[in-house]
Structure 1
Amino acid sequence: MYSIKQVAAMLGIPTVTLRAWENRYSAVTPERTESGYRMYTEENVADLRWLKEQVELHQTNISEAVRMLKVNKLNPPEAVPTPIMAPVPTMEEAYARMADQIYDSLYNFQGERANGLIDFGFTMYGYDSMFYHVLVPILVRVGDAWEQGRASVAQEHFMTQLISQRFYQFFHLFPIYPHLPKVLALCPEGEHHQVGLLLFSLFMRKNGAEVLYLGANTPEEGIFPIIREQKIKLVCLSITSPGLLERCDQLVERIMNEFPHIRFVLGGKGYERAEHARYPQWIMPESSADWQSWMEREYLSERSPGARFGQANN
């Protein structure tokens, strides 16, 4: 007998997906302990593995896969042709296939189909995996296609806006902790790429910070009233072009002159490639895998000369 966490680890299926398949489609019926915890038999695990193969390898809708499973169980094995199974793809291959399908749908302005695929991906792979391994690569791909002339401005806007909306919806799933500093996230005027900013804003929301997300190409004149009225403590700026570095540094300086207690997080390839940055202490690591340790070191440590994330400024 296996717990739901053990089954999820064995099969690579998120626990939220296992529960959804059980509650919505009656895929399997695990036994229950006296405390109500699910316990899966070997047969349950085998059934779930078969369902996953149908969904991932043959692009079968989960409801249809469950129907096929029940037909197989009601009929003798010899009466039901056994499908020829291709090798199980790696998770990277599964993510790439999902990304291709969503990209093609968006490229052809098929918004409903794209949203359906994204919903299915959330159920199948979980939110984190979908964002980091599927949706973010799509946004990068969209930007490259636009720059290289393979996607029109209309296509780029449509694709970017739809995926960005899914990011915004995800923000509301996390609780906000009032003791954490309120964050303002933006790309300065002239910067139209916001993938890194979206990712970092999502990271901050997962850590419990309230984030006011202004997005790409934000005019400077609208920033100062927001900082003042919303009592912003931390400003996140992202640029992809090194050519915007000087403009961004000047914006940081003007904000500091007006609000001396404000602290910053600076990111994007524009800062990562900067050889002589004016504010190196606030530049985020390139890899998102290093963000948590960096934030704890730079903004939680009492030894930090900069701001302390999670600690109110006096």
Structure 2
Amino acid sequence: MYSIKQVSTMLDMPSVTIRAWENRYGAVKPLRTESGYRMYSPDDIEDLKWLKEQVEEKGMSISQAVLMLKAGKSFPGPGRGEPFPTLGAEQQEGPYEELSGQIFNALFTFQSERANRLIDYGFSIYGYDAMFYKVLVPVLVKVGDAWEAGTASVAQEHFMTELISRRFFQFFHLFPVHSYMPKVLSLCPEGEYHQVGLMLFSLLLRRNGLDVAYLGPNTPREGLLDIIDSQGIGIVCLSVTNARYVGRADELVDYISEAFPEVLFLLGGKGYGSGTKSRYTQWVMNEPAEQWQEWLSRFLAQHQLRP
């Protein structure tokens, strides 16, 4: 067992940082002597070393790093007697596809515990970016395809989407909000129930420092102006997966712009790529998910929304 002074020297970490990570984030739980002094085990030291590497070398926030550490410890495998997905180099697609398929199959058969264990395992191995964009997004795509093809029932689609949605929103609070950035209101117009793309893009907005008020699917226009006014909304993000709702989205843009002409808009979703024309093509984003960050950076720069 080691004192905090010894651990500080071993890891080249200030004692105040070790105490802060312990008290604020529960990074480790050292034993206490009868006099109240902290005593750290070799496992505690390894955990602190790993957390330090994630923060200093990979640019991860300490809260996210602790979440990943605990996920790896709490869920050491997909389930008793069940094998892990085959793992390989980060750039290989095979392991991602296998994990994505296992998560989909667990959700399809309503095995929520197994699905959550697989997801936690994936975060502990692959990290945030790869897990979201290479594993969970393909799961959501498969869910939508299965529902449209009639191979997944409405109950299955709701169950699968809801579980993954909860996991997405767990990460909202991990990203800091920049006060100089505009607030965003994210929603699907009334009648549009598919929110996967909106949810994913809203998470990207939050990751870029924008404060996002997420209203989700099937949002009526009543009350929107009050929200925009009271919350100081600067950008409204609308998602449409069905082309028949493009006109309804245009009507919302008209409605909001008349009251707040300074508000900017972000329009996206498969509905805009089906040949249906919007009257607001200057706001439409048709890029695939892997290019969203580049498009958003251009958008923010164009409107001088960077410091």
Q: TM-score if structure 2 supplies the norm length?
A: 0.70
**Runs of 4+ in structure 1 over 4 Å off:** 22-27, 58-62, 85-90
Say yes or no: does 1:309 pair with 2:291: no
Computed over aligned residues only, the root mean square deviation of the Cα atoms, in angstroms, reads 3.4
CA separation of 1:161 and 1:222: change in aligned 2, threshold 3 A = farther
Deviation string, structure 1 residues 102-153 (Cα, Å, up to 9, x no partner) = 1111111111111111000001111111111111111111111112221111
Flag the 1:229–1:128 CA change in 2: closer, same or farther, 3 A: same
Q: Return the alpha-carbon distance in structure 2 between the equivalents of residues 149 and 101 of structure 1.
A: 20
Name the structure 2 match of 1:12.
Answer: none
Distance 1:197 1:245 in 2: 15
Displacement after TM superposition at 1:99 (Å): 1.0
Q: Which residue of 1 aligns with 2:96?
A: 95
Aligned position for 1:122 = 123
Report the CA distance between 1:285 and its aligned residue: 3.6
Specify the SS of the correspondent of 1:180.
coil
Residues 241-280 of structure 1 correspond to what in structure 2 (within 5 A)? 241-274=242-275, 276-280=277-281
Please tell me the residue identity of whatever aligns with 1:309: L
Structure 1 distance, partners of 2:268, 2:87, is 42
Take 1:219 and 1:143, find their aligned partners in 2: how far apart are those partners? Answer: 23
1:159 to 2:166 alignment: no
* Match of residue 233 from structure 2: 232
Partner of 2:211: 210
CA distance 1:207–1:151, change in 2 (3 Å): same
Q: Secondary structure at the match of 1:277?
A: coil
Please report how far the alpha carbon of residue 192 of structure 1 lies from its aligned counterpart in structure 2 after TM superposition. Answer: 1.5
SS across alignment from 2:298? helix
CA distance in 1, matches of 2:298, 2:149: 39
The alpha-carbon deviation at position 288 of structure 1 amounts to 2.8
- Aligned in 2, Cα 1:89/1:113: closer, same or farther, shift over 3 Å? same
SS of the equivalent of 1:264 reads strand
SS in 1 for 2:174: coil
Q: Distance in 1 between matches of 2:43 and 2:101?
A: 29
Q: Identical aligned pairs, as a percentage?
A: 51
Q: Distance in 2 between matches of 1:205 and 1:270?
A: 24
Structure 1 contact 295–309 (Cα < 8 Å) conserved? no
1:104 corresponds to: 105
Deviations 1:155-187 (A, max 9, x none): 111110110011101111111111100001111
Instruction: Compute the displacement of 1:189 (Å).
Output: 1.1
Q: Contact (CA 8 Å) 1:299, 1:308: kept in 2 or not? A: yes
Corresponding residue for 1:66? Answer: none
Q: Which residue of 2 aligns with 1:144?
A: 145
2: CA distance, partners of 1:87 / 1:218: 42
Q: 1:308 to 1:291 in 2, by over 3 A?
A: farther
Structure number, greater radius of gyration: 1
Give 1:59 shift: 6.9
Superposed displacement of residue 213, structure 1: 1.0
Aligned residue pairs: how many? 242
Unaligned runs of 5+ in 2: 1-27, 29-41, 51-55, 58-76
TM-score, L = length of structure 1: 0.68
Q: How far 1:294 sits from its partner (Å)?
A: 2.6
Q: String of CA shifts for 1:213-239, please: whole Å, max 9, x gaps.
A: 111111221422211211111000010
Query: CA separation of 1:91/1:250 partners in 2, compared to 1, >3 Å: closer, same or farther?
Result: same
